[in-house]
Chains A and B, each alone.
Chain A
Amino acid sequence: QVQLQESGPGLVKPSQTLSLTCTVSGDFISIGTHYWSWIRQSAGKGLEWIGRIDARGGINYNPSLKSRVTISVDTSKNQFSLKLTSVTAADTAVFFCARGNYFRGYIDSWGQGTPVTVSS
Chain B
Amino acid sequence: KNQVEQSPQSLIILEGKNCTLQCNYTVSPFSNLRWYKQDTGRGPVSLTIMTFSENTKSNGRYTATLDADTKQSSLHITASQLSDSASYICVGREKLNTGNQFYFGTGTSLTVIP
A and B: interacting chains: no
Residues in chain A within 8 A of chain B (CB atoms): none
Residues in chain B within 8 A of chain A (CB atoms): none
